Amino acid sequence: MTRKIVLIAALVGAFIAVGIRMETAVAARAQSSAPDKTATINEKKLSEGEAYAKQILTLMDRDQSGKVSKAEFTAFMEAEFQRLDVNKDGELDVKELTQTRLFRGGGHR
The contacts of residue 60 (CB under 8 Å, 6+ apart) are 68, 72, 73, 76, 106, 108
Give the residue ranges of DSSP H helices in 1-109.
Answer: 2-31, 37-60, 70-84, 94-99
Computed over every residue of the chain, the mean pLDDT equals: 75
pLDDT at 93 over 70: yes
Residue 26 forms part of a structural domain: yes
Task: Provide the domain limits for residue 15.
Answer: 2-99
Measured CA to CA, the distance from residue 32 to residue 24 in angstroms comes to 12
**Confidence at 71, pLDDT banded by 50, 70, 90:** very high
Residue 104 forms part of a structural domain: no
In whole angstroms, what separates CA 38 from the centre of its chain? 24
pLDDT for residue 7: 64
Q: How many domains does the chain have?
A: 1
Residue 108 forms part of a structural domain: no
pLDDT in tens, 42-70: 788 778 888 888 888 888 999 999 899 99
Model-wide pTM > 0.85: no
**Confidence at 109, pLDDT banded by 50, 70, 90:** very low
Instruction: Tell me the Ramachandran region of residue 91: left when phi exceeds 0, alpha when psi lies from -120 to 50, beta otherwise.
Output: beta
Average pLDDT over residues 39-43: 77
Handedness of CA 64, 108, 97, 90 (dihedral sign): positive
One-letter amino acid of 23: E
